[in-house]
């Protein structure tokens, strides 16, 4: 199973994860996790990044609301959905 698939499976649990926690879990580097998240986003997965109170970024898999899709369309036009 590829690292990309493993990262996606971790995110599919519905919990928030930092790149470092995913990296530890999968025995890889934070850079590799960040690259896989970018690849997954480019494939259309809605992976959100939020800041914790400690200033750490955490990722989660989500479903964009209609409001969010409309905002993306407004900001970037139809090419964002091509």
Single pTM value for the model: 0.78
User: Which pLDDT tens digit goes with each residue over 40-53?
Assistant: 998 989 999 998 89
CA atoms of 7 and 29, how far apart (whole Å): 12
List the CATH number of the domain containing 8: 1.10.10.10
Cβ pair 60, 11 in contact under 8 A: yes
- Dump pLDDT digits (tens) for 22-68: 999 999 999 999 999 999 998 989 999 998 898 888 999 998 889 98
Q: Could you tell me which residue, 1 or 81, shows the higher pLDDT? A: 1
**How many domains does the chain contain in total?**
1
Cα distance between the two ends of the chain: 28
Containing structural domain, residue 66:
3-81
């Amino acid at each position: 199973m590829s690292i990309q698939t493993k990262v996606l499976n971790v995110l599919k649990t519905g919990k928030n994860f930092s790149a470092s926690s995913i990296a530890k879990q999968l025995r890889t580097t934070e850079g590799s996790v960040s690259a896989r998240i970018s690849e997954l986003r480019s494939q259309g997965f809605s992976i959100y990044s939020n800041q914790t109170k400690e200033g750490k970024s955490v990722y989660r898999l989500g479903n964009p609301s209609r409001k969010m899709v409309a905002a993306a369309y407004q900001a970037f036009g139809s090419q964002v959905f091509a």
